[in-house]
Amino acid sequence: MKLMIAEDDDLHRAFLRTAVEALIPDCDEIIEVADGASAIDIARRSDPDSIILDLQMPRVTGVEAARAIWGHRPETRILFWSNYAEEAYIRGISKIVPESAVYGYVLKSASEDRLRVAIRGVFLSDQCVIDREVRGIQSRTDGRDTGLTETDYEVLLDVALGLTDKAIAERRHVSVRGIQSRLQHLYQRLGVDQAALRSGEQRRPVFNARTRVIYLALARGLINADALRRGDDELRSALSGKDEPG
């Protein structure tokens, strides 16, 4: 087995190496890298079959690194090891996992025993090992009544990127009225309070719903800086060579 550890924190990287050496003493080679770009480069040149991958790293995020690595070698086993159980990360990973891929997602706050179970399960037994907290979020994102659909998430991301209704409609090939309907659905999903504040016999809005939905999404971890950067890169790529809509 050739295993790579991609982690920007020196202490965490040393801890993971010690854990791997204890659990997999016959591992042929352990490669260490400190950022996502190096992880992609080394993975393409050395073809490690197993990788422990931090999600938040300099230069390139763990999600972006995993997408490139799986694009090169879909059978690579990846164990995501992260401080974060944000829906933005979990949704990002779910979009890029190859069919039949073996992977894991363990939080850094988990016990050492849990980490050992994940290392053995993913790398030695070809089992997917996902922390309970992460599983709960996965279930919520898949649920029709409680999670955001992909359509909801697309609209949310477009709003957070600052696109107008007309621009979103052009990008998603939907009418402006259709986008406005999707926005209303998104507001309901996230519980945006559009109730009026009574002032005498008149009512005036409490929130700007468009801004409020971005706050609620950030507070819940539905979107984060990494997701917004990825979304902006995709948008700029889509707009390349075209006049910006709206």
In this prediction, residue 147 carries a pLDDT of 66
Judged against a pLDDT cut of 70, whether residue 198 lies above it is answered with no
Share of the chain above pLDDT 70, in %: 88
Q: How far is it, in rounded angstroms, from Cα 232 to Cα 222? A: 16
Least confident of 161-165, 216-220, 237-241: 237-241
Domain pair 2-142 / 150-239, same fold: no
**From 3.10.20.340, 3.30.1340.30, 3.40.630.10, 3.40.50.2300, which CATH number describes the 2-142 domain?**
3.40.50.2300
Least confident of 40-49, 78-87, 135-144: 135-144
Q: How far is it, in rounded angstroms, from Cα 244 to Cα 236? A: 9
In this prediction, residue 166 carries a pLDDT of 94
Residue ranges of the domains in the chain?
A: 2-142, 150-239
Q: How far is it, in rounded angstroms, from Cα 178 to Cα 128? A: 39
How do residues 135-193 score in pLDDT, each as one tens digit?
Answer: 777 666 554 444 678 888 889 999 999 999 999 999 999 999 999 999 998 988 888 86
In this prediction, residue 145 carries a pLDDT of 45
Residue reference for tokens 């490139």: 68
CATH 1.10.10 fits domain 150-239 = yes
Q: How far is it, in rounded angstroms, from Cα 84 to Cα 106? A: 9
| Better-predicted residue by pLDDT, 196 or 82 | 82
Count of Cβ atoms closer than 10 Å to residue 195 Cβ: 10
In this prediction, residue 195 carries a pLDDT of 57
Mean pLDDT confidence for 79-89? 85
**208, two tokens:** 């700007």
C-alpha 198 chain-centroid distance: 40
Judged against a pLDDT cut of 50, whether residue 246 lies above it is answered with no
How do residues 93-151 score in pLDDT, each as one tens digit?
Answer: 888 999 889 999 999 998 999 999 999 999 999 999 998 878 777 666 554 444 678 88
Which has the closest alpha carbon to 149: 189, 96, 89?
Answer: 189
- Residue 233 — very low, low, confident or very high, per pLDDT cuts 50/70/90? confident
In this prediction, residue 245 carries a pLDDT of 41
